[in-house]
Chains A and B, each alone.
Chain A
Amino acid sequence: MGKVIIDRAIVDNQWQRLEGDALDAELPGGKIIVPLAYWQAHRDALLSRGDVAVWLAPGEEPKDLEDDLGTLPLVAIHFPAFKDGRGYSYARELRTRYHFKGEVRATGDVLRDQLFYMTRCGFNAFEVREDRSIEEALESLKDFSVTYQGDVNEPRPLYRRS
């Protein structure tokens, strides 16, 4: 198991994200993150199994999971490419529209230069791309001490805070 940043700490990754062929065979044991379509097709079985989370690809919105957000422990938002910014709006919606309290995890092309923005949009967990330093990525969360706008963690804009 690799490492993951959760709530600003580097910890062992207990979740395994599944896609493609891995879903055709028998599912592995332990905590797994399945694609939205797979979840929708096998919802009852997966719910009874427990230890299951769902990941959203770009184009799959939180509203597709609306009925399950009360029970899911984790929703992952996948970035096939870091430049696809839809996931920022999805994370924000999970937190501010659906008031999702579980883990919101960024997976895929997750790089340090985007982490600060991601945190502000409601992500609290990051699977940093394997060829990059997760320690440096964690450090990048300290890049800025000033934010003009409100965000998921601090809804007030700067001028309302003091």
Chain B
Amino acid sequence: MYVYQEYDQRLLEERVAQYRDQTRRFLANELSEDEFLALRLQNGLYIQRYAPMLRISVPYGLLASRQLRRLAHIVRTYDKGFCHVSTRQNIQLNWPCVEEVPDILAELADVQMHAIQTSGNCIRNITTDELAGVNPKEIEDPRPWCEIIRQWSTFNPEFAYLPRKFKIAVNAVPDADPALIGVHDIGVQIVHNASGETGFQVWAGGGLGRTPMTGAVIGEFVPWQDLLAYLESILRVYNKYGNRDNKYKARIKILVKALGAEKYRELVEQEFAELKGGEMTLTSEEVARIKGCFTAPDYQNQNTADLESKLAENKAFSRWYHTNTRAHKQHGYRAVTLTLKRTGRVPGDISDEQLEAVADLADQYSFGELRNSHQQNMVLSDVAANDLYDLWKALDGLGFATPNLGLLTDIVACPGGDLCALANAKSIPIAESIQRRFDDVDYVHDLGPLDLNISGCMNACGHHHIGHIGILGVDKKGKEFYQVTLGGRGDKLSRVGEKMGPSFESDEITDVVEKIIKLYVEKRLENEPFIDTYERIGMDPFKERIYG
């Protein structure tokens, strides 16, 4: 992973000192609520329903074991002993206190972590495929480009007070979208031209939230040298012309839609003409330096015979292997997902002791590194075939081996009304109720791949728009209701789901999901996944079944 230089560390320490002083001034009434709001948000601190929420940045989801141990220490010391993996690969604390946040930041800075720009109207954490660097389908490792963008965006002086938040994701897999670039403010698709040179297809104007839409291609092929100049051009146009009167119309997607992609591209090209070839142009030395931080670990030749026999004799192990581990670039290795989705557990939550146990497993089995996924799971990306059985045993003991990756019960859910001040409705109990209803593992496996996403409000932190089945909490005269969308997808190219009809009360929603599933089972062709059946038969049969 990226290794800090002296200056990276100094920058973090200066940031901690600055934020400590900002907090002091706020507590001494030298800063108004409104002034402090913008400052604390740029540092990931929300004031929530019961307590503040601190969002800690995990650049492109990558964590080292010593960082996991420090997180464990922090959640034990400053919180209630657990934290939460977010849908943008970050870590959230739900119960820190405002006064102690500077101390938390100092603890994080010790292990090269921070909360810079995890909220607020600025450029947020850069995200990517959780299998970056090991995915056999990627055309190159996206992480060096993520890091290059991270450094450019960190404390970028011109883009700290944008009209609204701004999210960038990078994808290196052709014909699939594991980083969800289609629904990001900017999506960067790594491509190679006919001469094999690296460049980027740059999308802009995607996003979920209140007005979900997929982005448009603004730059067809941006040579790698020009990546930052091109991103800066897109940001400058947005900073000048994005709507600042109405926060619901302030995202770049609204501007791109209003101007049209053609016009937006024209404005970007004007800015870009000035920057192209200038000091922002990336050099091969710098790219090589950053790439040098993401070299492959010391893989060994693996004999997989042992694994084959274990798979043949142990059905539970085999099921876990086929569900929760994925193919790897390196022969004899697998990427293992720790599903943080056991029934009865808040999706994405992990305790201090579990963090420490996972850190040990990362050291023992995966070269000391771990990734957060946007589906709120964790991934040990480099596990040798012959270690899989022992790892499975260990994960089973921790409750992280539930064999449901990518299945109905691998539910993505925001913290919702139990914790979040923005939420209109709870999401955690809905997730649990659905998991309890579908407690037959064989049945869930028979249903095949199925993304179910729950958001407690329009802000769509649970990514409900891209769930094959999406559930959105809405408020109707003070009562919690749930709206269902079908046909969203974030697996291939992103697509926003379609509303099924009127919303449901909380005690109806699990029955509704069950009816949807039953109809799918009746209608599916052999081996046809839910989303394909939906795309074949359309919304009407589902509507009829539910409302008819």
Contact = CB atoms under 8 A, between A and B. Distances in A.
A157 B279 contact: yes
A147 B160 CA distance: 14
Interface residues of B, number: 36
B240 A117 contact: no
- The dominant DSSP class at the A interface is loop
Given A96-B274, A159-B286, A149 B236 contact: no
B157 A88 contact: yes
* Most chain B CB atoms below 10 A, which of A111, A148, A151: A148
A113 interface: yes
A116 B157 contact: yes
Contacts, number: 94
Interface in B128-161: 151-152, 154-161
Contacts of B459: none
- The dominant DSSP class at the B interface is helix
Contacts of A159: 283, 286, 289
Interface in A68-123: 82-86, 88-90, 92, 96-97, 111, 113-114, 116-118, 120-121
Contacts of A114: 160-161
B240 A61 contact: yes
B280 A157 contact: yes
A65 to B, nearest CB: 15
Interface residues on A, range: 35 or more
A146 B14 contact: yes
Given A83-B121, A146-B14, A160-B279, A121 B155 contact: no
B10 A146 contact: yes
Contacts of B280: 150, 157
A92 B289 contact: no
B155 A82 contact: no
Nearest to B289: A159
A37 interface: no
A97 B239 contact: no
Contact of A89 (B10, B39, B236): B236
B157 A121 contact: yes
Contacts of B17: 143
Given A85-B239, A160-B283, A143 B161 contact: no
* Most chain B CB atoms below 10 A, which of A88, A116, A121: A88
Nearest to A85: B161
Contacts of B152: 148-149, 157
B513 interface: no
A111 B160 CA distance: 14
B346 to A, nearest CB: 33
Nearest to B238: A89
22 contacts: A83-B121, A84-B244, A85-B158, A85-B159, A85-B163, A89-B236, A89-B239, A89-B240, A90-B240, A111-B35, A113-B39, A114-B160, A114-B161, A148-B151, A148-B154, A149-B151, A149-B157, A150-B280, A155-B278, A158-B151, A159-B283, A160-B283
